[in-house]
Structure 1
Amino acid sequence: MNRSLREAADEVERRIAYACARSGRRREEVNVIAVTKYVSLERTIEAIEAGYPNVGENRWQDAKEKWEALQGRPDVVWHFIGHLQTNKVKDVLGRFSTVHSLDRWSLAEELQKKAKRLGIVVPCFVQLNVSGEQTKYGLAPGELRSFLSKLTACDAIDVVGLMTMAPHEEDPERTRPVFKALRELRDEANAKGSYGKPIEHLSMGMSNDFEIAVEEGATWIRLGSTLVGK
């Protein structure tokens, strides 16, 4: 591990710790995904050995070389964090432990079909477009309850959390309403029993705004440039 990544990791840990302290949370409640889509295999290994075994990639084509090189390592956990096309489900299942971007019924059907064929259950985050930006994927918040109800019929999908992406803001504080809204949507779904079992996790916060996300309850944050670089 070179000095620059060590320094970046130390800084990330300091910032997470302060965000946890401000919001009365424990550091152990926050999991970090090292987003490695723009960095080399060598840099990815540095991140893993720095204590970040959860690796996030957006596309199988970009992850393929790294995955094949690292597939023998039991300490590496792969997360699919990008928009997932239905025709790419076959490439993702069995390689990535968790899908963070379940955003439509056609994708749920394909995940269910392929997972049943493989004899596995896929942990998934339902992606919501809380900000309403046209450039972002995800269900509208008002669609969540009915979508979760339909997913109860998919025994090869396990909804473990909700995911969102906030707009990129010069002032990260302006992202707070987005993260707060996702937490409230999860809590409301749990209070109403929309899914049949509690939904625990919130996947939200990236390099520009992760401290605000942590303060608002993020359990998974996705860090690229601020941790592994570009």
Structure 2
Amino acid sequence: MAVSSGVVARYRAVRERVDAACRQAGRDPSEVELLPVSKTKPVELVRELHAAGVRTFGENKVQEAVAKHQQTADLPDLRWSVIGHLQTNKARDVARVAAEFQALDSVKVAAALERRLQAEGRGLDVYLQVNSSGEESKFGLPPEEVPALARELAAFSSLRVVGLMTLAAPSPEEAVVRACFERVRAVQQVLRDDDRAAGSYDRLSMGMSGDYELAIACGSTCVRVGTAIFGERPPQNDYAHYWPEGPSTS
């Protein structure tokens, strides 16, 4: 008999906390997706969660998403969400294996994805990444620049714009983190009122292992949780090859 890794129990515990946070905020738990982020973790844990009913997983690195996509080819209903910064030379891989991309922040990347998606004959759900904390180390657009990108995306028929994504400031002060989420909510309202903006903005991908309950209170519809589900990862320097393109998003 196989020994359980505990990943399913941890996932269910996080889901219970997500549901409780929804009820506390007066929201229906079905409104909030729990996206397990499996970066640097073995594909066997993904298989355990899939067997328990989980169907969508997040990956920061394109090459890791591709590898795990190949390793789970026998699970055709498993979906991959690429949530990390994308270089244009990886657009082909995202167009081929991803069900969604959560970190779109430039016309250049949009154009590269559009070309590859057209060649693949498929579309892709995308979120626009907002740098809500103003940190230079983070990718994403400043809030005031997001509407201009949203308008330009109307020219890309293969990109289905579905919402906004952000990483809040890594602060122990709730007010600082809340302000990040509220800035994204403000951008969401601007885009909903802008009839030139491409797509729809019902989805907000906000919140990670340390702040997802606050994100839910602020309107998040997708929380990206890695450590609380899959366990601690080694120090970043121990796997620096995973991070040539930017910071963590879970």
* Interval of TM-score (by shorter of Structure 1 and Structure 2): over 0.9
Letter in 2 for 1:52: V
- Which residue, out of 40, 46, 49, partners 1:47? 49
- Which residue, out of 20, 23, 28, partners 2:22? 20
Q: Is the 8 A contact 1:190 1:197 kept in 2?
A: no
Partner of 1:4: 6
Q: Is the 8 A contact 2:205 2:223 kept in 1?
A: yes
The residue matched to 2:126 in structure 1 has which SS? strand
Q: Is the 8 A contact 1:90 1:114 kept in 2?
A: yes
- TM-score (normalised: structure 2): 0.86
Letter in 2 for 1:6: V
Kindly report which structure 2 residues correspond to 1:21-170, keeping only aligned pairs within 5 A, or say none: 21-170=23-172
Aligned-residue offset at 1:183 = 1.6
Q: Determine the C-alpha separation between the residues in 1 that align with 2:23 and 2:50.
A: 26
Letter in 2 for 1:139: L
Segments of structure 2 that go 5 or more residues without pairing to the other structure are 233-250
Letter in 2 for 1:105: V
The alignment covers a number of residue pairs equal to 230
- TM-score (normalised: structure 1): 0.93
Q: Is the 8 A contact 2:129 2:139 kept in 1?
A: yes
List structure 1 runs of 4+ shifted beyond 6 angstroms. none
The residue matched to 1:227 in structure 2 has which SS? helix
1:105-138 CA deviation, whole Å, 9 max, x = no partner? 1101111111122222221101110111001000
Percent identity, aligned pairs only, is 32
Please say which of residues 199-208 and 189-198 is displaced more in the overlay.
Answer: 189-198
Segments of structure 1 that go 5 or more residues without pairing to the other structure are none
Q: Determine the C-alpha separation between the residues in 2 that align with 1:194 and 1:214.
A: 28
Letter in 1 for 2:65: A
1:41-88 CA deviation, whole Å, 9 max, x = no partner? 111212222332111111122233321111231331110011100000
The residue matched to 1:152 in structure 2 has which SS? helix
Aligned-residue offset at 1:189 = 0.9
Partner of 1:182: 184
Letter in 1 for 2:19: A
The residue matched to 1:11 in structure 2 has which SS? helix
The residue matched to 2:97 in structure 1 has which SS? coil
Aligned-residue offset at 1:191 = 1.7
Structure 1 152/30 Cα, relative in aligned 2: closer, same or farther at 3 Å? same
Q: Determine the C-alpha separation between the residues in 1 that align with 2:169 and 2:49.
A: 26
Structure 1 6/195 Cα, relative in aligned 2: closer, same or farther at 3 Å? same
